[in-house]
Amino acid sequence: MRVSRDEKDKTHARIVEGAARLLRERGLEAASVADVMREAGLTNGGFYRHFETKDELLKAALEAAFEECYLALESRFEKETPAAAAAGYRAHYLSDAHRDNPGYGCPVAALGGDVARATEALKKAFGTGVNRIITALAAGMRGGQREKRDRAARELAMLAGATMIARASDPETARAVLAACRSKSKGR
Amino acid sequence: MRVSRDEKDKTHARIVEGAARLLRERGLEAASVADVMREAGLTNGGFYRHFETKDELLKAALEAAFEECYLALESRFEKETPAAAAAGYRAHYLSDAHRDNPGYGCPVAALGGDVARATEALKKAFGTGVNRIITALAAGMRGGQREKRDRAARELAMLAGATMIARASDPETARAVLAACRSKSKGR
DNA sequence: TGTACATCAGTGAACGCGCGTTCACTGATGTAC
DNA sequence: TGTACATCAGTGAACGCGCGTTCACTGATGTAC
């Protein structure tokens, strides 16, 4: 049964948002088209009225995940001083809540490993997302223009690396690595 | 045709070593049993004379990859001062060669994302490997016992995070992130 | 505004394919005497 | 040491299964008059 244009747009957004979460939880390959459609309250066949291939969905969902993550980061910088925003971001990134809920967390930590083996189009989208986060984070760092960006890049690398390690390790190791990263002095 | 015990042991080692490389290159799921056996010069059916399930192979191959990586790290500390060994490890970790050859590189960066969604047995093996690397690396860090370990954990998180991001990004972003991490001052 | 018809969002079964695993088989190795 | 037989490493076809994708179909929406 056909559905109105407005209804279709809403369906499309629902598919992308559900996929953005499911991909971060299960990985790019393990989240199937049927899973994604079920998540949106639909059946698998309708998928191809919205995307030509699964790869097209992956790109849209990755971009949506980055957008969500980026907006949350940006809003920190609107509410606090740059240094406090950066510190708050780190505290949240290294929290148990973030470690335990990849579906709603940073796509860098959740999907970096998968994107490394994906298409160039996905890598491009990933790189763009990484750059946006670094640019936002740089405002909370010390030093000159260049040094701010370098510090922000190192900060993101450490945050994503620590979260990935924590999620991939036994609880004791996870706890120790996150604790070590939380205790690092600010801005350096 | 049956093969001698010695021959079987060699075959077993060949399967595990080939798998250790293939897994880091393609991921835990994407490297198939048939691929692994072909890599060892065998056919798929014989796999089950060596392992009960694919999961058992994944554990053995992950441990082999960590062992390989760990021995290389350890040998640095035998040849140089601790500080120089740690600096050399970072330089190698952040090199273009390491970024472009995950199959022979650190399993933390190559497989962390996959292991995060794998069995507890694999997480246990991963955590053990991570701990060994941190312990070795700690010898090259400044500060007290506890501080050395914390610095080593942060260092590994940054190195693995940077490498994962570099592999998952467009070339320009990859270059920038690796350069930023290389320029970080030592031991801090 | 009403009416007739074309469009197309969504359904759910079916497709070919590659996966992990199983199986009957082969023949060299290991073992018992 | 030789001989007869059991074992089992490795082969390659076959299994059921879930995947991405295709398809004929349905019926409400959009469009032309």
Q: Are B115 and A168 in contact (CB under 8 A)?
A: yes
The string of pLDDT tens digits covering residues A137-168 is 999 999 999 999 999 999 999 999 999 999 99
Q: Considering only CB atoms, which chain B residues are within 8 Å of A128?
A: 170, 173
Q: pLDDT value at position B40?
A: 97
Lowest-confidence region among A43-52, A153-162, B103-112, B177-186: B177-186
Q: Considering only CB atoms, which chain A residues are within 8 Å of B109?
A: 161
Give chain A's mean pLDDT: 96
The string of pLDDT tens digits covering residues A58-110 is 999 999 999 999 999 999 999 999 999 999 999 999 999 999 999 999 999 99
Q: Considering only CB atoms, which chain A residues are within 8 Å of B123?
A: 168-170
The string of pLDDT tens digits covering residues A115-127 is 999 999 999 999 9
Is the C-beta atom of A35 closer than 7 angstroms to strand D? yes
- Which region, left, alpha or beta, applies to residue B144 given φ > 0 means left and ψ of -120 to 50 means alpha? beta
Residue B43 has pLDDT above 80, yes or no: yes
Count, in order, helices (H) and strands (E) of chain B: 9, 0
- Residue A172 CB coordination number (10 Å): 11
Task: Return residues 109-168 of B near A (CB < 8 Å).
Answer: 109-118, 120, 123-124, 126-128, 130-131, 134, 149-151, 153-154, 156-162, 164-165, 167-168
Give chain B's mean pLDDT: 96
Q: pLDDT value at position A164?
A: 98
Q: How far apart are CA A41 and CA A38, in angstroms?
A: 5
Q: Are B156 and B133 in contact (CB under 8 A)?
A: yes
Q: Which of residues 10-39 of B have CB within 7 Å of strand C?
A: 29, 31-35
Exposure of B169 by Cβ count < 10 A (0-12 exposed, 13-18 middle, 19+ buried)? buried
| B140: DSSP letter | T
Task: Determine the residue of chain A that is closest to B111 in CA distance.
Answer: A113
- Which region, left, alpha or beta, applies to residue B64 given φ > 0 means left and ψ of -120 to 50 means alpha? alpha
Residue A188 has pLDDT above 70, yes or no: no
The string of pLDDT tens digits covering residues B2-11 is 998 899 999 9
- By three-state DSSP, how is residue B130 classified? helix
Q: How far apart are CA A133 and CA A127, in angstroms?
A: 10
Handedness of CA B52, B56, B58, B60 (dihedral sign): negative
Q: Using only C-alpha atoms, what is the Rg of chain A?
A: 18
Q: Residue B186: pLDDT band by 50, 70, 90 thresholds?
A: low
DSSP codes, A103-127: GGS-HHHHHHHHHTTS-HHHHHHHH
Reported pTM: 0.96
The string of pLDDT tens digits covering residues B46-83 is 999 999 999 999 999 999 999 999 999 999 999 999 99
Please give the average per-residue pLDDT across B162-174, as a whole number.
98
Across chain B, the runs of DSSP E, i.e. the strands, are none
CB-based contact, A15 to chain B, within 8 Å: no
Residue B185 has pLDDT above 80, yes or no: no
Q: Which of residues 54-113 of B have CB within 7 Å of strand C?
A: 54-55
Is the C-beta atom of A3 closer than 7 angstroms to strand D? yes
Residue B187 has pLDDT above 70, yes or no: no
Q: Residue B188: pLDDT band by 50, 70, 90 thresholds?
A: very low
Q: Which of A165, A166, A142 is nearest to A154 (CA)?
A: A142
